[in-house]
Amino acid sequence: MLAKLFSSAVIGVDAYKIDVEVDVAPGLPVFNIVGLPETSVRESKERVKSAIKNSGYSFPMDRITVNLAPADIKKDGTGFDLPIAIGLLAATGVIPPDLFKIHLLLGELSLDGAVKPVRGALPAAILCKNKAYSGIIVPAVNGAEASVVQDISVFPVSHLSEVVDFLRGMNPITPLKTDIGELFNQTVSETLDFADVAGQEHVKRAIEIAVAGFHNILMIGPPGSGKTMLARRIPSIMPPMTVDEAMDTTKIFSVSGKLGKSEALITRRPFRSPHHTISDAGLIGGGHAPRPGEVSLAHNGVLFLDEFPEFRKNVLEALRQPLEDHQVTIARAAMSISYPSSFMLVGAMNPCPCGFFLDTHKECVCTPFQISKYRSKLSGPLLDRIDIHVEVPSVPHSTLMKRSMEESSQEIRKRVTASREIQLKRFHRSKTVANGRMSTRQITLFCQLDPPSQSLLISAMERLGLSARAYNRILKLSRTIADMDGRAEIAPEHLSEAIQYRCLDRGMGGMAPLS
């Protein structure tokens, strides 16, 4: 007897439908799975066999063939266990063939029949809605993330027998519903606040501008000057996530298996801070079975790279594509996979190997050659993609002792949000959400300069030897500064401030700029 039901698999961050066809025919006992199954899928026959027996059902001693279609795409993961088991029970007459055809099934089986969580439940639920299925049957642990998709029925299950009884009409399961608005209301308040940071007003100003326009920023300063402290507080001043942003970010965490068990939707902007020993695959994504890297896990949030020059050069150069295209493409022989990676890059570095170049308290022991070699680890093309380079000097002891009341993150966030609303109105007819993501055509349209500003920019370009990409970055930054100032036109003071945020192009402390 033949049974056909439906499951899903994930390519990138999107799910696609898989037809699970199970045929039980007379013949020698054999269990074959076809349709380009990977190792985890081929091993499912042992899990399915034990789960069916230990759940109290008879396993057919016949010739069993399972086909996963389309057969020209590799199948990976353990989510096919449950649909294969249900298909076997349907093919042997245990389950009537009418109900399971209107549902999508997803789940891994343990040997005792328990249904274990899988990756990609949220994309599968979105597929279920797009394909107009009545509902989706998922592991209980994945129920919360799947239920954020509205207008479909999500049935969380914990055991194979529970699924069988439900499909036989013997055990109704109440569909799980989640109020997305309530999830946003339950967002935990930020524990890190800019009010904790003493001094560094010009750095706070630079960070506020960077967040307002979603610009990349690099902080250069000696150890203990507060670079990491400032970076970790950046999410506290970022605008709240929209529902679409939350769904896109949650999909990435779902397919990566990094979504918390009690987490239905990521409503706070992610902050990722990988160690400098990370590999290029860990940062960008990849592997035998490709998975999103840190640049994708930071989507719609912050990617913080502390000790920036200590990352391997090939790892840093791999950042070029996501910084420019806001997505990562991983090419394999059989297919090419793309992951979204629209993040705000925040880097921190010392000005020299010992860290005390230009420090007012400690003397630098590095030679000019050592300093030049250290800074040359960051290539010119990479620095061109970073809008703001800002120096972070040591905080005087008197400032630390004084501890005056600093401006809170909440107050800064109000200004950032107001500036972002101006930008959303400007780009309402496009997918652009901030000035830092403007295209070349949008720069030409929205960053027009008056004659004095044009002369200032030309002079800066010639004096600093800036590239065309750096030129566009300065214009984007000027547009953001003007928005924060409530000005429709870019004035010379806005352009001048933007140029000042290119300290590595100017050459810190009289040092020659990077070649």
Q: How far apart are the first and last CA of the chain?
A: 71
Integer Cα distance of 501 and 515 in angstroms = 18
At residue 356, φ and ψ (nearest 5 deg) are: -115, 20
The answer, yes or no, to whether residue 415 has pLDDT greater than 90, is yes
Q: What number of H helices and E strands is found in the chain?
A: 23, 18
User: Which comes out higher in pLDDT, residue 469 or 112?
Assistant: 112
Residues 6+ apart with CB under 8 A from 378: 308, 309, 316, 349, 504, 514
At residue 189 the predicted structure's pLDDT band, cuts being 50, 70 and 90, is low
Output the pLDDT for position 384.
85
- Phi/psi of residue 349, nearest 5 degrees: -150, 155
Relative to beta strand 30-34, strand 14-25 is unpaired
pTM score: 0.89
Q: What residues form DSSP beta bridges with 495?
A: none
| Sole residue written with tokens 């994945």 | 142
- Cβ pair 478, 495 in contact under 8 A: yes
Q: Is 345 helix (H, G, I), strand (E, B) or coil?
A: strand
Q: What residues pair up with 217 in beta bridges, in sequence order?
A: 346, 388
Task: Specify the range with the lowest mean pLDDT, choosing from 35-44, 410-419, 431-440, 464-473.
Answer: 464-473
Rounded average pLDDT over 96-100: 72
CATH 3.30.230.10 domain residues, the chain = 2-178
Instruction: Please state, in angstroms and rounded to a whole number, the distance separating the CA atoms of residues 458 and 452.
Output: 10
Model pLDDT for residues 278-315, shown as the tens digit of each residue:
999 999 998 777 889 999 999 999 999 999 999 999 99
Nearest C-alpha neighbor of 116 from the set 85, 161, 157: 157
Whole-angstrom distance, CA of residue 221 vs CA of residue 357 = 8
Q: What are phi and psi of 136, to 5 degrees?
A: -130, 135
CATH 3.40.50.300 boundaries in the chain: 194-510
pLDDT band with cut points at 50, 70 and 90 for residue 232: very high
Helix (H, G, I), strand (E, B) or coil at 384: helix
Residue 107 pairs in a beta bridge with none
Task: Of 193-207, 344-358, 395-409, give the lowest mean pLDDT range.
Answer: 395-409
pLDDT in tens, 52-70: 999 999 999 999 999 999 9
CB-based contacts of 197-201 (< 8 A; 24+ apart in sequence): 197/226, 197/229, 197/230, 197/233, 197/406, 198/395, 198/399, 198/400, 198/402, 198/403, 198/404, 198/406, 199/395, 199/396, 199/399, 199/400, 200/225, 200/226, 200/230, 200/392, 200/395
Residue positions counted in the chain: 515
Homologous superfamily of 194-510: P-loop containing nucleotide triphosphate hydrolases (3.40.50.300)
pLDDT band at 510 (very low <50, low <70, confident <90, very high): very low
Instruction: Write down the residue that tokens 């290539």 correspond to.
Output: 379
Structure tokens at 437: 């993501």
DSSP label at 18?
Answer: E
CA dihedral 198, 203, 205, 209 (to 10 degrees): -140
The per-residue pLDDT for 512 is 41
Q: Which two tokens stand for residue 424?
A: 């959303």
State residue 244's pLDDT score: 92
Q: Backbone dihedral region of 13: left (phi > 0), alpha (psi from -120 to 50 degrees) or beta?
A: alpha
What per-residue string of b and e applies to 311-340 under the rule 16 or more CB within 10 Å gives b?
beeebbebbeebbeeebbebeeeeeebbbb
Tell me the CATH number for domain 2-178.
3.30.230.10
